[in-house]
Structure 1
Amino acid sequence: MTAVTDDRSPATAPPHTRAEDVAGVLVGTWLASFGLFLLHSTSAVTGGTAGLALLLSYALPVPFGVLFVVVNLPFSALAVRARGWAFTLRSLVAVLAVSLLAPLHATAMPQLTVSPVYAVLFGDLAAGLGILVLFRHRASLGGFGVLALLLQERRGWRAGYVQMALDVAVVVASLAVVPLPVAALSAAGAVVLNLVLSMNHRPGRYRA
């Protein structure tokens, strides 16, 4: 039996329906928030504005969810200019959803005990998959993701590699707050997250 292939390019593929977009944003934010919950449980960080918010939550007496929203606000103007209001509003909804879901995981699993290595690597994998789902439904978690998508579309640079470079700065900054072994583990996890994006979100293969 000959396999059936779909040769349609991303430009001619039918768009997602509104119901699919809603479901995609819910799935993406759920995965991403669970990944960030695992990272927070081990005092680890990751890249992007999520990692920056995690880092600030360890240094300041402010919940992660609040910091995540505040850190992303300056990027909203860039998102409107670069991607339009529809993308920006979806991204703002995604950021708010992650901010609300992150503490929900902690409430649902108050006694969760996970190996730090497993928590960081699986946490970044889950977060990467969540971000990928959001990209596929024309949304993001704001911040560095918006800039990465913009450079991918205008320069042809892979979003995962762009975000990986920006993530290095966040992980290096974490050395001021977390021990070196945790920072090193966080760096490995950030690589996992961005490999998920670079291998599955390429120019010409699938446009957000």
Structure 2
Amino acid sequence: MPDNAPDANVAEETATPYAPGLRHTLAEDVYAFLIGCSLIVMGLVCLHKAGLVTGGMAGIALLLSYLVPVSPGMLFTLINIPFLAFALRAMSPGFAVRTMIASCGVTFFAGLMPRVITVSEIDPLFSALFAGTIIGLGILCLARHQAGVGGTGIVTLWLQKTRGINAGRVQISIDIVIMAISALFLPAHKILLSLLSAAATSGILIVYHRPGRYIGH
């Protein structure tokens, strides 16, 4: 390759995913929000039925739902408030507003889901892998449309944007802390499966959410 050939990584990062002509339309954003929020909530439903937790905001909400008589969706919203305030200060106004909309979308679908689907039984191992994966896909879907689901996701995306630290790897570190706390309340076998779920979620972000690929600014 000639010495003056552009570096592949630079070329990837300076590609034009943000060019005006390539920005997502409002209809595409709405569609992505519907998909992302519904996937996240479906994952929560499966994990809750199996008595598992996971990483991030979803894991915190799930753990608390086993300890207090409040639904994971409502807990998700309440815990999210300080993180959304951080987003308003640390991230762009557009990202903060979109994240607020996504958070409300998760709350909406959390209330709607029991009306449209009932999970009577689910294998815990399948729940860990399936739910972790679709939660990761939901987060990815929102991130590629310059939004997050709030909570620890805001922190990981902020670190990736400002420090170049991969969001998936940061999330794994946060998830370890969440799992350590969960171990005080849940049986060991459920913690192991919950770790598997969190790894499935973070794996999606590590593989598919890289700098220069639809990361909000």
**Equivalences for residues 157-196 of structure 1 within 5 A:** 157-196=165-204
Query: Do the aligned partners of 2:62 and 2:72 also contact (CA within 8 Å) in 1?
Result: yes
Secondary structure at 1:35 match in 2: helix
Equivalent residue for 1:108? 116
Correspondent of 1:25 among 33, 39, 54: 33
Query: Do the aligned partners of 1:9 and 1:205 also contact (CA within 8 Å) in 2?
Result: no
Correspondent of 1:10 among 12, 17, 25: 17
Correspondent of 1:97 among 86, 89, 105: 105
Unaligned runs of 5+ in 2: 1-11
Q: With the length of structure 1 as denominator, give the TM-score of the two structures.
A: 0.91
CA deviations 1:101-125 (Å, max 9, x no partner) are 1243333333532111101210010
Alignment partners' CA distance in 2, 1:158 and 1:100: 30
Secondary structure at 1:176 match in 2: coil
Q: Report which stretch shifted further, 145-154 or 94-103.
A: 94-103
| 1:142 matched to 2:147 | no
Please list every run of at least 4 consecutive aligned residues from structure 1 whose deviation after the TM superposition is greater than 4 angstroms.
none
CA deviations 1:122-163 (Å, max 9, x no partner) are 001010000000000111110111100110011111111111
Q: C-alpha root-mean-square deviation of aligned residues, in Å?
A: 1.6
Q: CA deviation at 1:11?
A: 4.3
**Equivalences for residues 63-78 of structure 1 within 5 A:** 63-78=71-86
Alignment partners' CA distance in 1, 2:39 and 2:119: 20
One-letter identity of the residue aligned with 2:141: V
Equivalent residue for 1:86? 94
Q: Aligned pairs, how many? A: 202
Equivalent residue for 1:59? 67
Query: Do the aligned partners of 1:161 and 1:198 also contact (CA within 8 Å) in 2?
Result: yes
Alignment partners' CA distance in 2, 1:177 and 1:193: 22
| 1:44 matched to 2:63 | no
